[in-house]
Amino acid sequence: MSESVKNVLRVENATMQFGGVVAVDNLSLEVNQGEIVSLIGPNGAGKTTAFNVITGVYQPTNGCVWFDEKKIIENYPRGKMKKLYQGQNAGKYTETLSPSPDKITQLGMARTFQNIRLWKGQSVLDNVRIAMHCRRTSNLLTATFRLNAKEEEAQTKEALELLELLGLAHVKDELSTSLPYGQQRHLEIARALATHPKLLLLDEPAAGMNPQETDELTAFIGRIRQQFHLTVFLIEHHMDLVMDISDRIYVLDFGKLIAAGTPDVIQNDQKVIDAYLGVSEDA
Amino acid sequence: MKKQNNLKTLLVTLVTIAVFAVLSVGAEAVAGNVDGMSMLVPVLKKTAVYSLIAVSMNLLNGFTGLFSLGHAGFMLVGAYTYAILSIPVAKRAGVYQYYDGGVVQFSIPETFGNLMGESVGTVIGMLLTLVISGLIAAFLAWLIGLPVLRLKSDYLAIATLGFAEIIRTFIQYEGFAPLTNGSNTLRQYASFKSLYAYVIVAGLCIAVIVLIVNSTYGRAFKAIRDDEIAAEAMGINLAKHKMMSFIISSFFAGFGGGLMAMYMASVQAKSFTVSMTYEILLIVVIGGIGSITGSIIGTFLFVGCSEWWLRFLDESANNIGGLKLLAPGFRMVVFSIFVMIIVLFFRRGIMGTHELPDVFRFLRKKIKGKGAAK
Ligand SMILES: Nc1ncnc2c1ncn2[C@@H]1O[C@H](COP(=O)(O)OP(=O)(O)OP(=O)(O)O)[C@@H](O)[C@H]1O
Ligand SMILES: [Mg+2]
């Protein structure tokens, strides 16, 4: 790897065990500045769980996560898990670092959810504006008495621009849940962008979209990477999108990494074909 | 442009409160001169006070989605703080007759009255005491918030309910009696006399809550209510914002408790039971969880029904043919039927999560739309 390449995300020996189920097993991977990297694998492989570990929703059972060359998460099997632990590298990690998801988001990581999680009662515009709350400079007093009017105005303007970018400007006053499925996925992306991330994590952004919408999304992800200087890490089942867009691909199966490499390498990897591509051909 | 908007909102709010104040002066005149209207003023006073309390509960339960049942506890703290700090010194011997006039030997409204002139000073003192009542309730909320707010839904409800009961027992405890007068009533403290004073003070407080709800913090509260996991993933610190909402809600519950003490003229800890919390919860649910104007309308209907319009049902003079149907307490039966009807037909309360201005806007649009179609 050349010296100019900068790590944005590095996961080291992460294991996530729920009771006796090892959902993510000794996963190590890295995502570099400006890359689009995909995480693929059959249903239940542990992809979403890996995202949840990276974003602080779950505390890993063992292993650590680095973001922007700083260690942000670390854990080792403790208490009841000490006996139950089935993963590897026990004893390698000795520290506990477990920031809540909001802290991690504030560091510059934003995500979308596989099972859409928009704020139901809020308008499309407010869904985006709420995501800007984490960048506020106002406090309760100045916000209550509207001494932050300038900031509010700037945020509203930026939110409208984001909606414009995602083709949602004409529905800005609708309730978020009244949108069709594809637009809800777009809104999730707009909301994530509103937090000004360096790294964008997309959990199946094309789920439920038709081929044309998927193509548009592929182009769109490429565009926002340019425009916002983003690094993108995504989970996806649409192989066209993945092969088209990814710089590199990681493949998970039963929680374990079974392959990693460029789209060409992955497409011809026998293990991957057995585990995944063989299945998706039938589907 | 935005600035003008804010100015407009401010003006609308102030004008609304002023209109209500003028109306309340009118109401007082009507009550004095028209037969059968004698209940109008007390009902409106109670409506003003309860509106504030219901709105403060709605901020926490409706807008932030934290199901707390500790409201009566914070109201009790507010009411007692207000009463204890504003009984005139000369009257303390009478009120605290079993405890040598109690330990507190000053009265904030009286002190300010002496300093700044009887009329202005007393009012300023009373307002200041109300703020102190709110602050003490808020402080308590901060104390118990740390452990309690980690709990989810039902557990939070039970923990806060338990807290309210503990507070009530503490206040009645003999050891604190020189301060709290034990289980005896506190009375003869300074209070607002005219309806418009209640309306203006409660109105200003509600206006502040409205401002909070519509600020970036209010939006964050609603995000926590709608989806906590998404809120956290978008960088909203859950613990901090839940605590904020809890403290603000408790502040206004304490402030409202102080106003309630004024309105009731005497307070006793034993009346601040869980059923008082339920009463307010009922108002919030009837009005619409997550609607401020809904809470106000709900309060008016609730107070009107329970204190005024249904009173005739309790008068045994109205009994038909010797049937003892209309016995005292019968109005509560009728009232419960009303509540059931409302809950059946308006599943999400009268207003849902809408506000009155939204409804007007919607109607105007609809009328306009119809006109265009023709
Ligand atoms: N909170 C949890 N408790 C227990 N088991 C869990 C939990 N979360 C995930 N799992 C288990 O971990 C495994 C991996 O699930 P995960 O959702 O990460 O899969 P996935 O790769 O995202 O699948 P899909 O493609 O269907 O989204 C599954 O067997 C699941 O049942
Ligand atoms: Mg998944």
* Distance between start and end Cα atoms, chain A: 37
HSE-up (13 A, CA, CB side) for residue B93: 1
Burial class of residue B29 (count of CB atoms within 10 Å of its CB; 0-12, 13-18, 19+): exposed
* CA-wise closest residue to A193 among A148, A157, A163: A163
Identify the residue whose C-alpha is closest to ligand 1 atom 25: A43
Q: Which residue from B minimizes the CA distance to A105?
A: B235
Q: Looking at chain A from residue 185 to 204, which residues have their Cβ under 8 Å from any Cβ of chain B?
A: 191-192, 194-195
In chain B, residues with a C-beta closer than 8 Å to the C-beta of A152 are 2, 216
The residue among A58, A126, A130, A191 with the most chain B CBs within 10 A of its CB, best to mutate, is A130
Using DSSP's 3-state secondary structure scheme, residue A60 falls into coil
Say if the Cβ atoms of B217 and A140 lie within 8 Å.
yes
Comparing C-alpha atoms, which of B73, B308, B42, B355 is closest to residue B206? B355
* CB nearest B229 (choices: A117, A143, A149): A117
Would you call B100 an interface residue with chain A, using a CB distance cutoff of 8 Å? no
Q: Is residue B275 within 8 angstroms of chain A, CB to CB?
A: no
Find the CB nearest B223 among A119, A144, A149: A119
Smallest CA–CA distance, residue A280 to chain B, in Å, is 30
Position B192, amino acid: F
Does any CB of chain B come closer than 8 Å to the CB of residue A212? no
What does the alpha-carbon distance between residue B350 and residue B297 come to, in Å, rounded to a whole number?
9
Neighbours of B48 (CB within 10 A): 30
Q: Pocket of ligand 1, candidates A15, A16, A17, A21: which has the most ligand atoms within 8 Å of its Cβ, to mutate?
A: A21
The pLDDT of residue A191 is above 50? yes
Count of the separate structural domains present in chain A: 1
Band (pLDDT 50/70/90 cuts) for residue B344 is confident
- Residue A180 to residue A208: CA distance in whole angstroms: 10
Cross-chain Cβ contact B235/A113 below 8 Å? no
Give residue A52's pLDDT.
Answer: 96
**Rounded CA separation B54/B292 (Å):** 9
Q: What is the CATH number of the domain that holds A26?
A: 3.40.50.300
Q: What is the pLDDT of residues A47-56, one digit of tens each?
A: 999 999 999 9
Residue A7 contacts residue A69 (beta carbons within 8 Å): yes
Beta bridge partners of A67: A9, A70
In a domain, A170, yes or no: no
Task: Give the whole-angstrom CA distance, residue A34 versus residue A228.
Answer: 10
Count CB atoms within 10 A of the CB of residue B169.
Answer: 10
What is chain A's alpha carbon radius of gyration, rounded to the nearest angstrom?
20
Show Cβ contacts of residue B324 under 8 Å, excluding neighbours closer than 6 positions. B316
**Element housing A64 (H / E):** strand A62-67
Distance, in Å, from the CA atom of A111 to the CA atom of A231, rounded to the nearest integer, reads: 12
pLDDT 10s digits, B136-188: 999 999 999 988 988 887 899 999 999 999 999 999 988 888 888 888 889 88
Ligand nearest to the CA of A42: 1
**Nearest residue to B189 via CA among B72, B53, B100, B96:** B96
The per-residue pLDDT for A274 is 82
Indicate the pLDDT class of residue A279, thresholds 50, 70 and 90: low
- What pLDDT sits at residue A276? 65
Contacts within 8 Å (CB) and 24+ apart, B168-171 = B168/B72, B168/B73, B168/B76, B168/B269, B168/B270, B168/B272, B168/B273, B171/B76, B171/B80, B171/B269
Tell me the pLDDT tens digit for each residue of B210-230.
999 999 999 999 999 999 999
Give the per-residue pLDDT at A270: 86
- Chain A contact for B150, CB < 8 A? no
pLDDT at B38 > cutoff 80:
no
Chain A residues within an 8 Å CB radius of B233: 55, 57, 101-102, 105, 110-111, 113, 117
pLDDT higher at B356 or B294: B294
Please give the Cα distance from A184 to A206 (Å, whole number).
11
What gap in Å lies between CA B295 and CA B283, rounded to an integer?
Answer: 6
For residue A49, being part of any structural domain is answered with yes
Q: What is the pLDDT of residue A283?
A: 42
Q: What is the pLDDT, as a whole number, of residue A3?
A: 52
| Average pLDDT for B235-258 | 96
Chain A interface includes B214 (CB < 8 A): no
Nearest CA to ligand 1 atom 5: A18
pTM of the model: 0.91
**Interface probe, candidates A58, A102, A120, A123, chain B, greatest B C-beta count within 10 A:** A102
Nearest Cβ partner of B217 from A105, A113, A143?
A143
Pair A191, A101: CB distance under 8 Å: no
Closest chain A residue by Cα to residue B218:
A144
Q: Whole-angstrom Cα distance, residue A232 to residue B118?
A: 69
Question: Which residue, among B356, B245, B343, B226, has the nearest Cα to B291 in the 3D structure?
Answer: B356
- Greater model confidence, B23 or A68: A68
Ligand 1, atom 3: nearest CA belongs to which residue?
A18
Say whether pLDDT at B308 is over 60: yes
The reply to whether residue A118 touches residue B225, judged by beta carbons under 8 angstroms, is no
pLDDT > 90: what percent of chain B? 46
**A-chain residues near B223 (CB < 8 A):** 119, 122, 130, 133
Residue B307 confidence class, pLDDT cut points 50, 70, 90? confident
**A239-258 pLDDT per residue, tens:** 889 999 999 999 999 999 99
Q: What percent of chain B has pLDDT over 70?
A: 91
Cα–Cα dist B31/B41, whole Å: 7
Better-predicted residue by pLDDT, A12 or B29: A12
- B372, pLDDT greater than 60: no
Q: In whole angstroms, what is the distance from residue A119 CA to residue B99 CA? A: 56
Within-domain flag for A215: no
B42 close to B306: Cβ distance less than 8 angstroms: no
Percent of residues in chain A assigned helix, strand, coil, to nearest 5: 40, 25, 35
Mean pLDDT of B46-50: 93
Q: Could you tell me if A55 lies within 8 Å of chain B, comparing CB atoms?
A: yes
Q: If we measure between CA atoms, which residue out of A204, A272, A199 comes closest to residue A11?
A: A199
User: Closest-CA residue in chain B for A120?
Assistant: B226
Say whether pLDDT at B336 is over 90: no
**Alpha carbon of A83: minimum distance to chain B alpha carbons (Å):** 28
A199-233 b/e with 16+ CB inside 10 Å = b? bbbbbbbbbebeeebbbbbbebbeebbeeeebbbb
Has residue A147 got a pLDDT over 80?
Answer: yes
Pairing of β A36-40 and β A248-253: parallel
Q: Provide the shortest C-alpha distance from residue A194 to chain B (in Å).
A: 9
Testing the interface with A: which of B234, B236, B247, B365 to mutate, by most A Cβ within 10 A? Answer: B234
- Whether the per-residue pLDDT at A155 is higher than 50: the answer is yes
State which residue of chain B sits closest to A52, comparing Cα positions: B233
- Ligand 1 — pocket residues by CB below 6 A? A 18, 21, 23, 41, 43-49, 114
pLDDT in tens, B97-150: 888 878 888 888 888 888 888 888 889 999 999 999 999 999 999 999 988 988
A31's CB contacts (< 8 A; 6+ apart) are A7, A8, A9, A10, A37, A199, A231, A233
- The span from the CA of A258 to the CA of A64, in Å, is 20
> A277 lies in which domain range?
1-111+247-283
What is the pLDDT at residue B97?
A: 83
A151/A137 Cα distance (integer angstroms): 8
Nearest to A186 by CA among A106, A194, B344: A194
Smallest CA separation from ligand 1 atom 17, residue: A48
With CB atoms and an 8 Å threshold, state whether B235 touches A105: yes
State whether residue B317 is helix, strand or coil: helix
A63-117 pLDDT, tens digit each:
999 999 999 999 999 888 888 888 888 888 999 999 999 999 999 999 999 999 9
The rounded mean pLDDT for chain B is 86
| Under 8 Å between Cβ of A56 and A49 | no
For residue B340, name the pLDDT band (cuts at 50, 70, 90): confident
> Are A119 and B230 within 8 A, CB to CB?
yes
